[in-house]
């Protein structure tokens, strides 16, 4: 297919306008009428078709691109997974002395983190140690290359390599050591961490051993004055609802104080939320806490299903919610926190490509509960402190707003009494603000 660039851009603009119009009409559907939900689905479908056409246009190779159009293209808001790239050049911000003070303040500020994956907390050196211990042959050059992934496929390759390198439950001790270092160096006092056991179990590990290992590591860490780490078991949409249900039964029949609930992660486009309704209903009936990744790789309908059908208590990512104002209102009304993972969202590039375009600014201003998270700290080479700083530098969050995000991060946890935690954090934060004159 050969098209003139001007025509492509014109068509994209038309699509944007039509999508906008459809969303406007969709938002005006009357609530609680017999036809409403059917109509909403029809609107969503139509919007999705148009967005898919837009994505196809955006995937066309551009042979001759006029200089003055480069900026226009950069501002097109829906990117596609196929064009994911990682900008490995460390972005050197122009740091003013005020910025440096803010960075130091952020580092010292006590924090929580509630969206990160245990498998992504192992650095190259520790992985190497684990492979040595397990007698698995590898080439260190190859390992280095794996950590220098440049697209989603390579990222997944590294993720799977890490999982397959775990040969016994004791290996979690090595990963946990990295996790604890990461948490302590960012002054994260409380964390809820995902672990996806499906592939590990396929590889021959026993869930009970995994649960015992996680629970004792978490307990030892707390008892030795370290951060409070709790786990959410990812039932995973990649392997289908039947496997997810099996994972849930494993969690239920092996209760451990450090394992507090389940998450729904994995390939969003492969597993619509509605297929996991029974798994979530049972988990909730049994008193487990429930969260789900949604709107990272699929449209706002995926988030709506997660809220309405799964009744998930928090949304992971939620980036595509920005496309549906009525959904944003629903999330705000129900006070469902969104776990924002800025760097990760730019990496997957599906709904946002530049930090300054991230919808979190809008979510925050509309009164939605937003929390700051890294998703995959050791393999993205990001820290929670960096992420908070990006909120300031790229999205103009003031120091007071940063403190407010920190507060929201405390109240969005599954701690029984978050107010107690906040009452510990607050005076420390006040002292730091005085110390740094912020
Ligand atoms: Zn995640």
Q: Among 180, 196, 209, which Cα is nearest to 119's?
A: 196
Q: Are residues 196 and 51 in the same domain?
A: no
Model confidence at 63, pLDDT cuts 50, 70, 90, reads confident
* Tokens read off for 286: 């049994």
Ligand 1 centroid, distance to 40 Cα (angstroms): 28
pLDDT of 179 over the 60 cut? yes
Query: In the sheet that 111-117 helps form, which strands lie side by side, from edge to edge?
Result: 111-117, 188-195, 228-234, 259-264, 289-294, 314-317, 338-340, 370-372
Ligand 1 centroid, distance to 36 Cα (angstroms): 32
Q: Kindly report, residue by residue over 145-163, the tens digit of the pLDDT.
A: 999 988 877 888 898 899 9
Model confidence at 77, pLDDT cuts 50, 70, 90, reads very low
- For residue 434, is it within any domain? no
Ligand 1 centroid, distance to 118 Cα (angstroms): 10
Boundary of a domain, candidates 52, 76, 100: 76
pLDDT of 188 over the 90 cut? yes
Ligand 1 centroid, distance to 435 Cα (angstroms): 35
Q: Which of 62-76, 107-121, 378-392 has the lowest mean pLDDT?
A: 62-76
Q: Are residues 63 and 127 in the same domain?
A: no
* pLDDT at residue 67, rounded to an integer: 63
- For residue 421, is it within any domain? no
CA pseudo-torsion sign 397, 401, 403, 406: negative
Q: Kindly report, residue by residue over 25-60, the tens digit of the pLDDT.
A: 888 888 878 888 888 888 888 888 898 888 888 877
Q: Kindly report, residue by residue over 218-268, the tens digit of the pLDDT.
A: 999 999 999 999 999 999 988 899 999 999 999 999 999 999 999 999 888
Ligand 1 centroid, distance to 263 Cα (angstroms): 9
In Å, what is the CA distance from 152 to each residue of 84, 123, 394?
6, 18, 24
Ligand 1 centroid, distance to 135 Cα (angstroms): 30
Q: Give the CATH number for residue 154.
A: 3.20.20.140
Domain that holds residue 30: 5-76
Ligand 1 centroid, distance to 382 Cα (angstroms): 14
- For residue 433, is it within any domain? no
* pLDDT at residue 66, rounded to an integer: 63
pLDDT of 74 over the 70 cut? no
- For residue 101, is it within any domain? no
Ligand 1 centroid, distance to 316 Cα (angstroms): 7
pLDDT of 1 over the 80 cut? no
* 333-358 mean pLDDT: 92
- For residue 84, is it within any domain? no
Q: Are residues 125 and 57 in the same domain?
A: no
**Residues 395, 342: Cα–Cα separation, whole Å:** 11
* pLDDT at residue 325, rounded to an integer: 94
How many structural domains are present in the chain?
Answer: 2
Q: Are residues 23 and 165 in the same domain?
A: no
Exposed/middle/buried for residue 141 (C-beta within 10 Å: 0-12, 13-18, 19+)? exposed
Ligand 1 centroid, distance to 294 Cα (angstroms): 10
Mean predicted lDDT score pLDDT of the chain? 90
Ligand 1 centroid, distance to 313 Cα (angstroms): 15
Q: Are residues 120 and 44 in the same domain?
A: no
Ligand 1 centroid, distance to 3 Cα (angstroms): 38
* pLDDT at residue 68, rounded to an integer: 57
Exposed/middle/buried for residue 138 (C-beta within 10 Å: 0-12, 13-18, 19+)? middle
Ligand 1 centroid, distance to 159 Cα (angstroms): 12
- For residue 295, is it within any domain? yes
* pLDDT at residue 80, rounded to an integer: 34
Ligand 1 centroid, distance to 225 Cα (angstroms): 27
- For residue 408, is it within any domain? yes
Ligand 1 centroid, distance to 381 Cα (angstroms): 15
Ligand 1 centroid, distance to 265 Cα (angstroms): 7
pLDDT of 75 over the 70 cut? no
């Amino acid at each position: 297919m050969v098209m003139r660039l001007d025509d492509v851009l014109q068509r994209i603009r038309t699509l944007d306008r039509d999508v906008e119009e459809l969303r406007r009409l969709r938002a005006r559907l009357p609530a609680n009428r017999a036809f409403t939900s059917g109509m909403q689905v029809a609107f969503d479908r139509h919007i999705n078709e148009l967005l898919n056409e837009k994505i196809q246009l955006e995937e066309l190779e551009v042979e001759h691109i006029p200089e003055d159009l480069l900026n226009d293209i950069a501002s097109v808001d829906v990117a596609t997974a196929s064009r994911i790239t990682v900008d490995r050049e460390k972005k050197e911000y122009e740091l003013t002395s005020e910025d440096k003070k803010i960075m130091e303040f952020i580092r010292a500020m006590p924090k929580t983190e509630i969206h990160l994956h245990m498998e992504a907390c192992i650095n190259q050196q520790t992985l190497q140690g684990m492979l040595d211990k397990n007698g698995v042959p590898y080439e260190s050059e190859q390992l280095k290359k794996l950590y220098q992934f440049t697209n989603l496929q390579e990222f997944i390759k590294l993720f799977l390599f890490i999982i397959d390198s775990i040969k016994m439950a004791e290996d979690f001790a090595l990963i946990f050591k990295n996790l604890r270092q990461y948490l302590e160096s960012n002054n994260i006092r409380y964390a809820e961490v995902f672990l996806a056991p499906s592939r590990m179990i396929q590889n021959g590990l026993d869930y009970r051993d995994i649960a015992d290992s996680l629970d004792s590591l978490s307990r030892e860490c707390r008892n030795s004055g370290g951060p409070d780490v709790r786990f959410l078991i990812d039932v995973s949409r990649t392997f289908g609802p039947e496997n997810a249900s099996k994972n849930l039964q494993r969690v239920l029949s092996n209760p451990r104080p450090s394992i507090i609930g389940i998450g729904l992660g994995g390939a969003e486009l492969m597993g619509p939320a509605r297929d996991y309704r029974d798994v979530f209903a049972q988990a909730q009936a049994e008193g487990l806490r429930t969260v789900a990744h949604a709107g990272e790789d699929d449209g706002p309908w995926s988030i709506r299903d997660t809220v309405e059908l799964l009744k998930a208590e928090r949304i992971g990512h939620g980036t595509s919610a920005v496309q549906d104002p009525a959904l944003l209102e629903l999330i705000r009304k129900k006070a469902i926190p969104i776990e924002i993972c800025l760097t990760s969202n730019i990496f997957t590039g599906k709904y946002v490509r530049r930090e300054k375009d991230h919808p979190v600014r809008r979510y925050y201003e509309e009164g939605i509960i937003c929390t700051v998270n890294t998703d995959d700290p050791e393999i993205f080479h990001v820290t929670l402190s960096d992420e908070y700083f990006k909120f300031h530098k790229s999205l103009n969050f003031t120091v007071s707003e940063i403190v407010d995000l920190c507060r929201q991060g405390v109240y969005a946890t599954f701690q029984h009494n978050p107010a107690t935690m906040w009452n510990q954090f607050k005076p420390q934060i006040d002292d730091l603000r005085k110390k740094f004159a912020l």
